[in-house]
């Protein structure tokens, strides 16, 4: 279900397929153009049917930002329960990627506690 890294030079690049409610072809073209102009978006295209395929740097933006951009150009998303669940999962993954990108090092569980001196 999840499309991950397609760009070896950017470990935080993710690809998401976003269902768009049926609308005019011109509106979808406008949405793709709007997305492609935004720097953290690495690619945007129309997949089959009413799906948009968007690749972006998840260390900079998340699915909620992409959804907001689509709302700005009037490209309404399919509001079915399937998309709502997938969107929430993508938001969780994107927030995790942002946290990992800002992390200063490895996990603390990799370092044993210091020995107590007697």
CATH number of the domain bearing residue 96: 3.30.70.100
The answer to whether position 27 is within a domain reads yes
Looking at per-residue pLDDT, the higher value among 87 and 115 belongs to: 87
Q: Which pLDDT belongs to residue 81?
A: 94
Number of domains in the chain: 1
The answer to whether position 63 is within a domain reads yes
The answer to whether position 8 is within a domain reads no
Q: Which pLDDT belongs to residue 107?
A: 58
The answer to whether position 109 is within a domain reads no
Looking at the whole model, is its pTM more than 0.85?
no
Which helix (H) or strand (E) is 18 found in, with range?
Answer: strand 13-19
CA distances from 15 to 23, 62, 77, 111 (A): 22, 11, 17, 34
71: domain range? 13-102
How far is Cα 82 from Cα 87, in angstroms, rounded to an integer? Answer: 9
The answer to whether position 31 is within a domain reads yes
The answer to whether position 64 is within a domain reads yes
Report pLDDT digits (tens) over 18-66. Answer: 998 866 678 888 888 888 888 899 999 988 878 889 999 999 999 999 9
Q: Which pLDDT belongs to residue 66?
A: 93
The answer to whether position 115 is within a domain reads no
The answer to whether position 108 is within a domain reads no
Q: Which pLDDT belongs to residue 111?
A: 61
Confidence tier at 4 by pLDDT (50, 70, 90) = very low
């Amino acid at each position: 279900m999840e499309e991950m890294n397609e760009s070896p030079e950017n470990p935080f690049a993710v690809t998401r397929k976003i269902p768009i409610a049926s609308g005019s072809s011109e509106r979808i073209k406008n949405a793709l153009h709007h997305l492609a102009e935004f720097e953290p978006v690495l690619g945007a295209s129309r997949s089959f049917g009413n799906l948009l395929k968007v690749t972006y740097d998840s260390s900079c933006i998340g699915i909620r930002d992409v959804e907001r951009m689509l709302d700005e150009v009037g490209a309404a998303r399919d509001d079915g329960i399937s998309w709502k669940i997938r969107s929430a999962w993508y938001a969780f993954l994107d927030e995790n990627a942002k946290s990992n990108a800002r992390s200063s090092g490895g996990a603390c569980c990799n370092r044993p506690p210091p020995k107590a001196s007697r």
